[in-house]
Amino acid sequence: MNLLPHYFLNGLSCTAQKLQLTPEEMNLHAPHNSSYSPIVARRGAPPPIMPAVMTPGGPLDLSTVLFRNRIIFVGQPINSQVAQRVISQLVILATIDENADILVYVNCPGGSTYSVLAIYDCMSWIKPKDGTVCFGVAASEGSLLLAGGEKEMRYAMPNAHIMIHQPQWMWVLKIDMMYAAFTGQPLEKVQQYTERDRFLSVSEALEFGLIDGILETEY
């Protein structure tokens, strides 16, 4: 579902104004609040035909539920279209509530350096803190996005894998310097790690400084 047209039609401007929900998106009997609150599924409601979550205001598709809970998924190689979607979501969420954190879930094999840096610049520019969580894999530029999250808010699942390597020649020094800043490692050590493809377990990524913690699961 493309969320942008709906919000732009509701008057999103370059000023930091609050966006309002339509009556269909919220409980009609609840008092109005200009910021989004987390959606809680209604117990006992019959499951809808299409993938959705039943809420007090009716069914909502999963992408809307995630967006309302300030979660952004990056689950494919990052190109200009993916970057445009992620940046738009970041800006809208920052407009809605500049004091609430945003979580970016990363399961990404890499992508365009231009596009990843565009997302990172937006994450650094907006006021909300942007945490990152790796599911599956964060490889190449995906690992840069993972490591570029807010310090102490960068996590990985136990079975995730993270890969760093040397980017295209024109980006080598810049990207290595960014990894050094994100991890706190000396530039020389970063260059040793990125000289070839280096796959890291989550414990190795934690030790290197790419993430700040490992989320626990049963296995």
Sequential DSSP letters for 146-164: HHTSPTT-EEE-TT-EEEE
E runs forming strands in 27-158: 52-55, 58-61, 71-74, 102-108, 130-139, 154-156
The DSSP bridge partners found for residue 162 are: 138, 200
Please work out, in degrees rounded to the nearest 5, the angle formed at the alpha carbon of residue 134 by the alpha carbons of 74 and 128.
65
Residues with catalytic annotation?
A: 140, 165
How many angstroms from the chain centroid is the CA of residue 76? 12
Please work out, in degrees rounded to the nearest 5, the angle formed at the alpha carbon of residue 185 by the alpha carbons of 183 and 186.
145
Please state, in angstroms and rounded to a whole number, the distance separating the CA atoms of residues 47 and 179: 45
| Cα-Cα-Cα-Cα dihedral sign, residues 69, 88, 126, 7 | negative
